[in-house]
Chain A
Amino acid sequence: MEMFDLSLIWAAIIGFGVIMYVLMDGFDLGVGILFPFAPDEGSRDVMMNSVAPVWDGNETWLVLGGAGLLAAFPLVYAVFLPALYIGVFLMLAGLIFRGIAFEFRFKSHRNRRWWNRAFSWGSAVAAFAQGAVVGTYIQGFAVEDFVYVGGPLDWLTPFTVLTGVGLMAGYALLGATWLIMKSEGHTQEWAYRLTPKLLLAVLAVFAVISVWTPFVDDFVRDRWFGQLHLIWIFPALALASAAWLWRSVRERREGQPFIATLGLFVFTYLGLVVSKWPVIVPPNYTLWEAASAPESQLFLLLGMLFVIPIVLAYTAWTYWVFRGKVREGEGYH
């Protein structure tokens, strides 16, 4: 009966959803992380305006991913969430505060300071928690018989703190290059100056993580130093993206830095996926073992195939409508 490997299709959908979320919510979380360091309140208005029309569409992918995981790979859902219990709470609390701050900062004047803080702290905490999720995924989970049996803070190790900080830096880099593209004047100049520093920080963290990972995870070590030599193409492409980013900032290009940063993220992500494939709940369960029943995967797939193109088209349309520079004092608060 099985003409298609539904689990594989779903892995592609979820994998696509994850990277869409990371790239899109990444830059608006990054803008939030950079928020307190902005030169002045006028720049902050520009920063917030540059992401205001799109941020909640970006978070669409997170909720879609959460529900999709439950439907397609329930084991992932039922292991990651208990294992990262406290981290998930921090992430959701961060995202909620920041979402509310978005709406009320512009409607509020007396309390604007507090909404500013909610925006930046919420963004930073959410970014850190997401980075820690990545680290925990590399680290693996204590699972026995499909049930998480580890402790409440297993997810918080020096390694995951590093990945958490690394993703904060990465999101900040996405945010800075987004601002180069979307702003002008002293806000843009500030973003130009910030970008090389952030890039160095990201590369430093990536280097440490890359050296550390084979010691954390035997599976990845075997994969990296085994037969599959082609795997080195991803870090090579990521480094090439970093070099392009460096050069395009020095040449004061406006659009290229952001594209280069997207490339840096995509190739790093693909590298991670290939390193772990097909293990989805490390160290023991593959995506087929984590899958739900085929009739359930099929039942939802029909709806997804209908809706994903619409969401994509709408997303593209929104970005098209709000293309171009955001200027101080006008903008679409």
Chain B
Amino acid sequence: MELDPLLLSRLQFAFVVSFHAIFPVFSIGLASYLAVLNGLFYRTQNPAWERLAIFWTRVFAVVFGMGVVSGIVMSFQFGTNWSNFSLAAANFLGPMLSYEVVTAFFLEAAFLGVLLFGRGKVPQGVHLFASIMVAIGTFISAFWILAANSWMQTPVGMEFVDGRFRVTDWSEAIFNPSFPYRFTHMVLASFLTGGFVVAGVSAWYLLIGRDVEANRKAFSMCLWLLLVLAPTQAVVGDFHGLNTLEHQPTKVAAMEGNWETRQGAPLLLFAWPDQDAQQNRFELGIPGLASLILTHHLDGELPGISEVPPAEQPPVWIVFWSFRVMVAIGFAMIAVAVAGLWLRLKGRLFGVHAHRGYLQLMRLMSVTPFLAVLAGWFVTETGRAPWLVYGIMSQAEAVTPSLTGGMALFTLVGYGLVYAVVFWAGVLYLTRVVRQGMLPEAPHEDEVERPKRPLSAAHVPFEDAASQPGRS
């Protein structure tokens, strides 16, 4: 079989960006949570808030560091694998990505050091200010990246001349039609991620009875947050879907598994899309519901995938199933948030009557936001295929012409190995940070604070003290 550099490049990009995305998604949510914790401590001077803030700052340091390391590759991938796209879209993409880098560095230079190392060394108000600035900075970073991505979905404010895009209107290009929806959807996803991880870790601490007072506070506030955000996300997602229907109807058709344009389309719960046959092999759905959701009429007309020739269709089964995974997780999130409220009202959230099964469930739920975020990105990115810039530049036109299958395979495997090591080390270390928990820091002979190095804020040894035979 001939190795296809286009397919391999797509796989590589998907792999690298998926791997990278989980860190910023988490750190955006966590940065805001830290600002809230530091703010609560500033207001109330209750040491429980400070203990929580110190602990989650350690986690934040590691996650932020991992995001930076895995992000380095991203800034070169556009050139190595998508050089035609890079050259064509540089007039817009270049400034967007550069501003993201600039924002991140400005943030790191000015405020991250104070947030990570400044506690007790700078006035409390200054520390809180730095914490808020870091949280704002993560939004600004996301702003640039999502502006670039959204423009690739709904390209406006440009003219396409001689194979290159030129910006005619910056604000139109940046605030392109899909941007506000994608940005809101993503920020909420980050909050949900932060909320579920903090809730899950707090639940675990409550289960083993460690630092109960502080973790009750954290668990309780997370449940309130999730109760508001999980349903809000469903509504925002619905608006995002309507926006996609307007601008990228084929993507929505693939999400719904709807091959032919028709009125009163059913909401498919299960189906096996067969791209070759241009139909579903099996489907189980609720009549009229898809039309109702997307057009607000039971017999509203829904565009079909076959409106465009097969060569211009996305791989339907990926879009279809990724969408279902995302939505299913979204509903599960709403369900556990509501269940939390019910238990709270019955007085079974904390104390001797605490529902331990629920705490265990929340522990497991902490993985789900990551899956939902990745699934959501799979929907929107795969759903754009075969276009890279929707309707204007296809992925095949965008890929590096000189790239061979062998080269692409080499780096795909290579990045796989590199990231496996990074991920292994990072996750192993994170689990150690969490296991050490909010215990006062052991005196450490190795670590003295210094600026710029997020991971050094964590102060947790990589291995158990007992497993250091060579230490003398």
Interface residues, chain A, CB within 8 Å of chain B?
A: 52-54, 56-57, 59-60, 62-64, 66-68, 70-72, 74-75, 77-83, 85-86, 88-89, 92-93, 95-97, 99-100, 102-104, 106-112, 146-152, 292-293, 295-296, 299-300, 303-304, 307, 310-311, 314, 318, 321-322, 331-333
Q: Are B170 and A299 in contact (CB under 8 A)?
A: yes
Looking across the interface, which residue of chain B has its beta carbon closest to that of A89? Answer: B411
Q: Contact check: which of A78, A86, A92, A318 meets B410 at CB < 8 Å?
A: A86
- In the complex, the answer to whether A78 meets B418 with C-beta atoms within 8 Å is no
Would you give the shortest CB distance from A217 to chain B, in whole angstroms?
A: 21
Cβ–Cβ contact A60 & B425, under 8 A = no
> Is the C-beta of B339 less than 8 angstroms from some C-beta in chain A?
no
Q: Please name all residues of chain B whose beta carbon is closer than 8 Å to the beta carbon of A60 when the two chains form the complex.
A: 105
Contacts of A80 in B (CB 8 A): 79
- State the CA gap A71–B95 with chains docked (Å): 5
Question: Shortest distance in angstroms between A11's beta carbon and chain B's nearest beta carbon?
Answer: 15
Cβ-defined contact, A311 with B453, below 8 A: no
Minimum Cβ distance to chain B for residue A203 (Å)? 33
A-B contact pairs, 29 of them (CB 8 A): A57-B452, A64-B102, A67-B75, A74-B87, A78-B83, A82-B400, A83-B402, A85-B411, A86-B411, A89-B415, A92-B73, A100-B69, A104-B425, A104-B429, A106-B446, A109-B462, A148-B400, A292-B91, A293-B164, A295-B166, A296-B92, A296-B167, A304-B98, A307-B106, A310-B106, A311-B105, A318-B452, A333-B447, A333-B448
User: Is the beta-carbon distance between A295 and B167 smaller than 8 angstroms?
Assistant: yes
Q: Is the CB of B76 within 8 A of A81?
A: yes
What residue in chain B is nearest A95 (Cβ atoms)? B72
Q: Which of B429-446 contact A (CB under 8 A)?
A: 429, 446
Inter-subunit contact B102/A109 (CB<8 Å): no
Per the bound structure, the CA–CA distance linking A314 and B404 in Å amounts to 43
User: Which one of B73, B91, B460 contacts A107 once the chains associate, using CB atoms below 8 Å?
Assistant: B460
Whether B402 contacts A107 by the Cβ 8 Å rule is: no
Cα A110 to Cα B422 in complex, Å, equals: 18
Give B residues with C-beta under 8 Å from A: 65, 68-69, 72-73, 75-76, 78-80, 83-84, 86-87, 90-95, 97-102, 105-106, 109-110, 164, 166-167, 170, 400-404, 406-407, 410-411, 414-415, 418, 421-422, 425, 429, 446-453, 455-456, 460-463, 467-471
A109 & B461 in contact (Cβ 8 Å cutoff): yes
Q: Is A149's CB under 8 angstroms from B95's CB?
A: no
A52 to chain B minimum Cβ distance, whole angstroms, is 7
Q: Is A66's CB under 8 angstroms from B76's CB? A: yes
B429 close to A303 (CB less than 8 A): no
Residues of B within 8 A of A300 (CB): 94-95, 98-99
Across the interface, A96 reaches (CB within 8 A) one of B80, B84, B418, B451, namely B418
Contact pick for A310, options B110, B422, B460, B462, CB 8 Å:
B110
Q: Known pairs A52-B453, A54-B452, A147-B87; list 14 more (Cβ under 8 Å).
A: A56-B68, A57-B452, A64-B101, A78-B83, A81-B76, A82-B401, A85-B411, A89-B410, A93-B418, A147-B83, A148-B83, A300-B99, A303-B99, A332-B449
What residues of chain A lie closer than 8 Å to B450, measured between beta carbons? Answer: 52-53, 321-322, 332
Q: Report B-chain residues with C-beta under 8 Å of the C-beta of A151.
A: 402
Given the complex of chains A and B, what is the CA–CA distance between A299 and B456 in angstroms? 36
B452 touches A56 (CB 8 A): yes
B95–A299 CB distance below 8 A:
yes
One of A104, A293, A304 near B91 (C-beta < 8 A): A293
Instruction: Tell whether, in the assembled complex, residue B447 and residue A106 are in contact, meaning their CB atoms are under 8 Å apart.
Output: yes
Asked if A96 contacts B98 (CB within 8 A), the reply is no
A13 → B minimal CB distance (Å)? 11
Q: Smallest Cβ distance from A257 to chain B, in angstroms?
A: 25
CB–CB B65/A103 < 8 A: yes
A63 CB contact (under 8 Å) in B83, B101, B460, B469: B101
What B residues does A52 contact at CB under 8 A?
A: 450, 453
The answer for the CA separation of A218 and B403 in the assembled complex, in Å, is 28
Q: In the assembled complex, how far is the CB of residue A31 from the closest CB belonging to chain B, in whole angstroms? A: 16
Q: Is the pair B90, A152 in contact by a Cβ cutoff of 8 Å? A: no
- Chain B CB count within 10 A is highest, among A88, A295, A299, A303, for A299
Q: Which of A64, A97, A152, A318 lies in contact with B404, CB distance below 8 A?
A: A152
B331 CB → nearest A CB, Å? 38
Chain B, residue nearest A84 (CB): B80
Question: How far is B452's CA from A201's CA once the two chains are assembled, in angstroms?
Answer: 34
The answer to whether A292 and B94 have CB atoms under 8 Å apart is yes
Specify which of A68, A79, A296 is in contact with B83 (CB 8 Å cutoff): A79
List residues of chain A with CB within 8 A of the CB of B105. Answer: 60, 63-64, 307, 311
B461 x A107 contact (CB < 8 A) = yes
A204 to B87, CA, bound (A): 39
User: Closest CB of chain B to A147's CB: distance in Å?
Assistant: 5
Contact B453 A103 (CB under 8 A): yes
Q: Is the CB of A152 within 8 A of B402?
A: yes
Interchain CB contact under 8 A, A70 and B425:
no
In this complex, what residue of A is CB-closest to B428?
A104
Known interface pairs A89-B411, A107-B460, A109-B468; A53-B90 also in contact (CB < 8 Å): no
List, in ascending order, chain B residues with CB within 8 A of A109's CB.
461-463, 468, 470-471
Pairwise interchain contact B167-A100, C-beta atoms closer than 8 A? no
Say whether, besides A54-B452, A66-B75, A66-B76, A71 and B462 are in contact (CB < 8 Å): no
Which 10 pairs, one residue from A and one from B, show the smallest C-beta to C-beta distance? A71-B94, A81-B79, A74-B90, A108-B462, A78-B87, A107-B462, A314-B109, A67-B98, A296-B91, A78-B83
Contacts of B73 on A, CB cut-off 8 Å? 92, 96
Please determine whether B407 and A85 come into contact, CB atoms closer than 8 angstroms. yes
B67 to A: closest C-beta gap in Å: 13
Residues of A within 8 A of B447 (CB): 106, 333
B84 partner residues in chain A, CB cutoff 8 A: 78, 147
| Residues of chain B within 8 A of A333, CB atoms compared | 446-448
Q: How far is the CA of A147 from the CA of B88 in the complex (A)?
A: 11
Contact B452–A81 (Cβ < 8 Å): no
Q: Residues of A contacting B460 with CB < 8 Å?
A: 107
B417 to chain A, nearest CB (A): 8
What is the CB-to-nearest-CB distance from A227 to chain B, in angstroms, rounded to a whole number?
Answer: 35
With a cutoff of 8 Å between Cβ atoms, the chain B residues found around residue A71 in the complex are 90, 94-95, 97-98
Query: In whole angstroms, how far apart are the Cα atoms of A81 and B81 in the complex?
Result: 8
Q: Which of B87, B99, B167, B421 has the most CB of A within 10 A?
A: B87
Complex formed: what's the CA distance from A81 to B448 in Å? 39
Chain B residues in 8 Å Cβ range of A299: 95, 167, 170
